[in-house]
Structure 1
Amino acid sequence: MKLNHFVVLGCVSLILAACGGSGGSSGSNQTASATSDSASGSVKVLKVGTDASFAPFESMNEKQEIYGFDIDLLNEMAKVGGFKLEFKHTPWDGIFASLNNRDVDIVASAVTITDERKNTMDFTDSYYKITQVVMVSPNKDVKTVEDLTKLTRVGVVAGQTGDFAAQKIFGATSNQIARFDSLPLLIKEVENSGLDAAISDSAVIAHHIKNNAGKGFTMVSIPDFEEENYGFAVRKGDTETLNLLNQSLKTVRENGTYAEIEKKYFAQ
C-alpha cells in the first residue's frame, strides 16, 4: 500500500487500486505454474505476502481465494520466469515484519516505493503508478486542500501513504485524522457517515466509486499529492529474487501480457 489538480471525479476505474475482477484466478493456496530448473531439477518457490483487502489489486472471494491485479501479474511473471508462487493473506500491520522474518519472500500489496522503505527492503522496478485522492461523502463539498482542513474527521488506513498525506495536511497528531486497520473498514465508515472523507490510493477509490455509482460519493484529485510508484518488495540484499522479478516483469510488459491484465482490471 501503498506521496500522496483539484478535479472532482464521480466515477473512475483506477485507485491506487481500482477496477477489479469479479472472480479469483489465484487462490491463497494456489501456485503459479513454472518450469523446472535444468541444472537442479527443482523449481524455485517464492512465498508471497499480500493484504487481500485492497481491491482491485488484491482481494479475497467467498471461497477465501486471493485474486486481483497484483496476483494475476505475479502469476504471469512466474510463468515466464520459471518459478512458483505461494500466496498468503497477511494483514498490513505485520506485512513487512513477515518479510524480514522470512515468513514470506515477496510483499505484493500495492506497496508504494519510498526512500524510507528502501532503507529496510529492496523494490522491483515500478509496476503501477497512482496518487492519493480524497473520497468525499455526498453531503460534503471539497475542492481544495483548504476545504479538506475544515472537515471534522478524515479517515486513512494506518501506515499507508494516505496516512502520511493526511499528516502533512493536518499534523501527525491531529484529532481530525481517524485511522483504520484496513481499506474495507475505512470505506464502510465513510458510507455510514462516520467520516466526512477518506484519503487513499486513486485506483482503489475509483474502483469502489465505480462499483457503487448510486451512492453519490465523489473522488477529488489534489495537486499536492505526488505521483506514487508501486513495487514488489523483497528482503534487503536478496538480489537473486529481485533480478528474477525484474526480468520477469520486463518480459510480461514486452510480450503484451501486462497490457491484457491492466485492461481486465482498469478498463474505463
Structure 2
Amino acid sequence: MSYQKTLSAALAAALLLAGCSHENAQQNAASAQTGAAQEYIVATDAAYAPLEYMEGEQVVGFSRDILAAAGEKEGIKFNFVNTPFEGIFANVQKGDSDVALASITITDERKQIVDFTDPYFEATQMIVTADKGSDIKSFADLKTRSVSVQNGTTADLILQDLQGKDSKLIRRFENMPLAFKELAAGGVDATVGDNGVVQYFVANNPDVKYNMFVDPSFPKEQYGFALKKGRTDGLREKINKGLAAIKADGTYAKIEQKWFDKGAAQQEASAAK
C-alpha cells in the first residue's frame, strides 16, 4: 500500500473514531438529561438461598435486593448474571463484570485481590447433621469425619485448617444445594455452611430431622460486595452511600425481614425441642 493511501486510510479511521466518540458523548449526555440510570454488571453465584439464588431466569435473594436498593438510592441499576463462585474474583479483575455478589466474606487475604464495599451482613459458620442423635457436637469432632462444603468458601478453608489441605474427608461441591444433597443421601457425616443458608435450607426441608449448631470457636464474618482492585470511578463509594441510606430509612430492615423471618422462626422452634 502506498504512503498516500496509508495516510488516507489513517485519516478516515481517525474521523470514524472521532465520529463514534462524538456519538457516544451525545448518547451519554442524552442519558444524563433524561435521568436514565447507569447500569452495571454483577457477577452472582446464585445458588445460595436465601442470599442469592435463581428463581426461573431471575436472580433473587437478600443480597440481590440489598444491592439493588442501595443502587436505586444513587440512581444506578445492576444487571445480575449467574457466575460460578470459583472464578468470581477473576471475573471482576478482568472487567467482565463490575461487582461480585456471592455472600463473600471480607478477609485480609481477599482484600489483596479485590476491593470491598462496607459490610452489608453479619454471618457465622454453622454445622448441620442429618441425625439429631449424631455424636458430632463441636467443630473439633469433624477432625476425622467426612464433611461436604461449597468449594472455595469459608467453610472449605476452616475445614482445611482442621483436617489439612490434602484431606480426603472434605467433599467439595459447586454449590450448597449439592452439598446438602450429599448429606441427605448419607454420603457425608456433616455439612458446614453460612448460618443464613443453613437455616433457610433446614426450614424448607422439614421432612428431614436436621440438627444444626454454631461452634463457639467460629468467628463472626462480614459480607461485602467486591469490585476490581484499585477501581477509581466512584462505584464503591456510591454503593456505600446507598447502603448507609437504606439502613437509615428502614429499607434494609424490611428486606431482612422478607428473607430471614421464616428461617429464624424455624431455628427457634428447633432450639426449643
Give, in whole Å, the separation in 2 of the partners of 1:57 and 1:217: 20
- Is residue 173 from structure 1 mapped to residue 166 from structure 2 by the alignment? yes
Alignment of 1:87 with 2:80, yes or no, is: yes
The Cα of 1:37 is off from its aligned counterpart by: 6.9
Q: Deviations over 1:177-217 (max 9, x none)?
A: 11111111111111111111011111100111111123011
| SS at 2:73 equivalent | helix
Question: Shift of residue 40 of structure 1?
Answer: 9.0
Distance 2:126 2:165 in 1: 18
Residue 104 of structure 2 corresponds to 111
Change (3 A) 1:123 1:37: farther
SS at match of 2:47: coil
The runs of 4+ residues in structure 1 deviating greater than 3 Å are 36-43
- Tell me the SS of whatever aligns to 1:215: coil
Match of 1:102 in 2: 95
Show the 5 A alignment for 1:1-268.
38=32, 43-61=37-55, 63-138=56-131, 140-151=134-145, 153-239=146-232, 240-267=234-261, 268=264
Structure having greater relative contact order (Cα 8 Å, sep ≥ 6): 1
Larger Rg: 2
RMSD of the TM alignment (CA)?
Answer: 1.7
8 Å contact kept, 1:37–1:82: no
- Cα deviation for residue 141 of structure 1 reads 2.1
Distance in 1 between residues matched to 2:176 and 2:231, nearest whole Å: 30
Q: Report deviation, 1:39.
A: 6.9
Q: Distance in 2 between matches of 1:164 and 1:100?
A: 22
- Once the 2 structures are TM-superposed, how far is the Cα of residue 135 of structure 1 from its aligned partner? 1.1
Alpha-carbon contact 2:71-2:238 (below 8 Å) kept: no
The equivalent of 2:27 in structure 1 is none
Number of the residue aligned with 1:8: none
1 CA distance for matches of 2:160 and 2:140?
A: 14
1:140 Cα deviation after fit: 2.4
- Cα 1:261/1:42, change in 2 over 3 Å: closer
For residues 71 and 258 of structure 1, the distance between their equivalents in structure 2, rounded to whole angstroms, comes to: 12
Task: State the 1:223 CA deviation.
Answer: 1.7
Is the Cα–Cα contact under 8 Å of residues 165 and 225 in structure 1 kept in the other structure?
no
The TM-score, its normalising length taken from structure 2, stands at 0.81
Q: Deviations over 1:87-136 (max 9, x none)?
A: 10001112111111111100111000000100011001110011111111
- Indicate how the Cα distance of structure 1 residues 72 and 187 shifts in structure 2: closer, same or farther if over 3 A, else same: same
Alpha carbons 1:136, 1:220 under 8 Å: kept: no
Paired residue total: 231
* Long gaps (5+) in structure 2: 1-29, 265-273
If the length of structure 1 is used for normalisation, what is the TM-score?
A: 0.82
Which is richer in helix? 2
Residue 20 of structure 2 is matched in structure 1 by none
